[in-house]
Amino acid sequence: MATFADRWAGFGVTFRTMFRKTFTQGYPEKGKVKVTAPRFHGRHQLNRWPDGLEKCVGCELCAWACPADAIYVEGADNTEENRFSPGERYGSVYQINYLRCILCGLCIEACPTRALTMTNEFKLGDTSREKLIYTKERLLAPLLPGMEEPPHARRLGEDEQTYFLGLPKTGTPDTRTGRAPVGEAR
């Protein structure tokens, strides 16, 4: 049982810190901009190929790997007239519920195409619960110069092998891993 002196010692700590300025006073107008570590797990992003097609193939592995059940994916088939990704399928519906997400990164580890990555953006608070359910439109990476909004046909390379190696017509294979390019012997 706490003694009388222990109780007053606890109140002393409370009174000493009660009127001290906090680090959040004046946020976000005053103060430094928060710089995160390079491998920080922030908001998710659905990436694109260099021609603008989506990398997500709708395999739903990220949803299966999510321990918080925060990801919902519906895959659909691509057609030649309506192509959103270079493969046979694409993610037609993609949602991440940030009310459930624990930002653990297991979903990005499960993604076979590196379609899903995590950015350094950490300000995820919003004014309603509906705004914290991010849809595919909010998760997709912005179009960079030279990219075209899907649906469209594949633009890079004459065949699938060249496209998935990421080689423009004048490009060379990436040999930094020490592995031989597909189709070549070491």
User: Annotated binding site, which residues?
Assistant: 56, 59, 62, 66, 101, 104, 107, 111
How many degrees, rounded to 5, is the angle at CA 81 between CA 164 and CA 73?
A: 65
Separation of alpha carbons 53 and 72, rounded Å: 20
Give whole-number Cα distances, 182 to 40, 48, 157, 175, in Å. 33, 22, 15, 11
User: Which of 76, 99, 97 minimizes the C-alpha distance to 88?
Assistant: 76
Residue numbering of the annotated binding site for [4Fe-4S] cluster: 56, 59, 62, 66, 101, 104, 107, 111
* Contact (CB, 8 A) for 90 and 56: yes
C-alpha distances out from residue 92 to 74, 143, 151, 153, Å: 6, 18, 12, 17
Cβ-Cβ contacts under 8 Å for 126 (sequence gap 6 or more) = 132
